[in-house]
Amino acid sequence: MTAVAAATLVALATAACGSDPDQNATPSGYVPVAPSASVSAPPADPSANATPSTTPTKKAQPRTLPSPGNPNGRAPVPFDADAEDTRGPDRVIGTGTPASCTSAAVVRAVAKGGIIRFDCGPAPVTITMRETAKIRNNTGPRIVLDGGGKVTLSGGGKRRILYMNTCDRAQVFTTSHCQNQDHPRLTVQNLVFADGDSTGETAEGGGGGAILVRGGRFKVVNSRFVGNRCDRTGPDLGGAAIRVLSQFDNQPVYVVHSTFTGGSCSNGGALSSIGVSWTVLNSVFEDNRAVGRGANPARAGTPGGGSGGAIYTDGDTFTVTLAGTVIRDNHAEEGGGAVFFVSNDRTGTMTITGSTLRRNVSDGFDTQGLPGIFFLGAAKPTVRNSTLRR
């Protein structure tokens, strides 16, 4: 989109925290658990002549997927950033069995909006999406998708999983200023988004392998993003997990207690945005990759991209806040192995508190004194009680 000016070298002394929040963090790998209806009692010992047990078969106990986020994160969570109350849902996907939780049921429920929960049985379940679920802008205004810690929505490596765009006429125009309206207000919580792939999608410039959002408000709580993809090239295209464009009155996208692993895109192996502010709390980004080549603007003879191994942000006035967050082992072919931050008019600001950034490799460029970060903004980032290491 906009040309990146020559790098400004920023010297910054970082204050190491007394307790490294990277230590003992929950492993990031996720393997879906096959649903099962029951767990049988152990067989009787064949060497014993005891009368066969009459103990009835035990019912399966409800299980949940691995907890996302940084367990050592201590950043306070504002009221607006916390999970939504879904005890009185407007819609329930499923009727108590895995087979009842289908892609079509998800698409129908999301189109109707409101508070949505799942009833797929006691065990974790994976729903492979046959089409992208799309928010209708005249529903809500509050839309909550809550997986209860047991639901994975999978793109099957073929499609984007969730889409919201207040400026898409096909999803209903509701105001005359679609790029700056306060609704829909979308929250995704207690979910896994896996294997989304928006490769070849051109809406709003592409990107957003799992979720694409433009307009309204958006929040992510207690969720995990695994192995999502978007196009491999493009100077300003990004967000293997999430791409966001425009938020009401430039209010931040909240990402809370969430984990992003194994994402791959031209830019932003996890998150990407244009002119959008982010507040990321007690979260983990690991093994994400910006795989484009040529940066932005694209060098002659290259397709462009390759910046922001975990997070890619561009635009004019916006903020990025990282608190209680671990960003480790991400990789950028060009700049910002952890974070790429460019405020074109130099009004944007960045704050890092109680966080650990380590082993985030930038093959091309970083800002001096900020390993894993390329930064152009109003002033050098504010770093408190955090560790930044190569």
Cα separation, 145 vs 33, in Å, equals: 21
- Assigned token pair, 357: 């950034």
Phi-psi region of 148 (alpha: psi -120 to 50; beta: other; left: phi over 0): left
Q: Tell me, what's the pLDDT at 35?
A: 32
Whether pLDDT at 222 is above 70 = yes
Q: Tell me, what's the pLDDT at 163?
A: 97
Q: Tell me, what's the pLDDT at 223?
A: 98
**Distances from the Cα of 206 to the Cα of 254, 262, 265, 281, angstroms:** 22, 19, 11, 26
**Domain regions of the chain by residue span:** 96-389
State mean pLDDT over 241-265. Answer: 96
Whether pLDDT at 14 is above 50 = no
Q: Tell me, what's the pLDDT at 57?
A: 46
When mean pLDDT is compared across 177-181, 243-247, 355-359, the lowest value belongs to 177-181
The mean pLDDT value of the chain amounts to 86
State mean pLDDT over 362-383. Answer: 96
Cα dihedral sign, 369-375-376-381: negative
Residues 6+ apart with CB under 8 A from 98: 35, 120, 121, 123, 125
Confidence of residue 175 (pLDDT cuts 50, 70, 90): confident
Residue pair 268/283 in contact by the 8 Å Cβ criterion: no
For residue 109, what is the enclosing H or E element?
helix 103-112
State mean pLDDT over 370-377. Answer: 98
Confidence of residue 140 (pLDDT cuts 50, 70, 90): confident
| 231 closest CA partner among 220, 243, 240 | 240
pTM of the model: 0.84
Percentage of the chain with pLDDT > 70? 84
Cα separation, 48 vs 50, in Å, equals: 5
Residue pair 212/204 in contact by the 8 Å Cβ criterion: yes
Residue pair 80/105 in contact by the 8 Å Cβ criterion: no
The order of strands in the sheet holding 373-376 is: 133-134, 162-165, 211-214, 242-245, 271-274, 311-315, 339-343, 373-376
Bridging pattern class, strands 361-362 and 271-274:
unpaired
